[in-house]
Structure formats: structure tokens, C-alpha cells
Amino acid sequence: MKFVLEVDVDDAATPEDSARELERVLRYWAGNLRHYTLEPGTGEAVYDSGHREVGNWRCTEA
């Protein structure tokens, strides 16, 4: 199995703000993974702190 996380980073944000937002996304979704069966086909949208969809994570075949 392969775990894929894709997050679009706001080009208009400062590098510091982008890093903070990415940290938040990673913490939130990493802590939430225990609620999912990690197998190919599983996945969810990823949202930023403004509740805007900024990407997704998914499990695929290796």
C-alpha cells in the first residue's frame, strides 16, 4: 500500500504562514488517521484552517 498526501500551498501567503498552515494540516490529519481503515481506495479531502479544501490524502496500491 502507498499513502499519498497532496496539499496545495497558498502562493500569496508568506513562507512562515505557509509552514504554519502545513504543520496544522499534518497534525490534524495524522491524528485523525486512526479513524480510518488504511487500505487502497480509502481517502479524504484535506481542509485548511479556513475550512477550504486544499488537497487530499488517499491510499493506493504500492
Q: Which helix (H) or strand (E) holds 18?
A: helix 15-32
**Is 37's pLDDT higher than 90?**
yes
User: Please, which pLDDT band fits residue 35 given cuts at 50, 70 and 90?
Assistant: very high
pTM surpassing 0.75?
A: yes
Q: What is the largest CA-CA distance in the chain?
A: 36
Please give the pLDDT value at position 11.
Answer: 82
Grid cell of 53 as nine digits: 479544501
User: Please, which pLDDT band fits residue 2 given cuts at 50, 70 and 90?
Assistant: very high
The amino acid occupying position 32 is N
Using CA atoms, how far apart are residues 57 and 42, in angstroms rounded to an integer?
8
Question: Do residues 1 and 40 touch, judged by C-beta distance below 8 A?
Answer: yes
User: Please, which pLDDT band fits residue 29 given cuts at 50, 70 and 90?
Assistant: confident
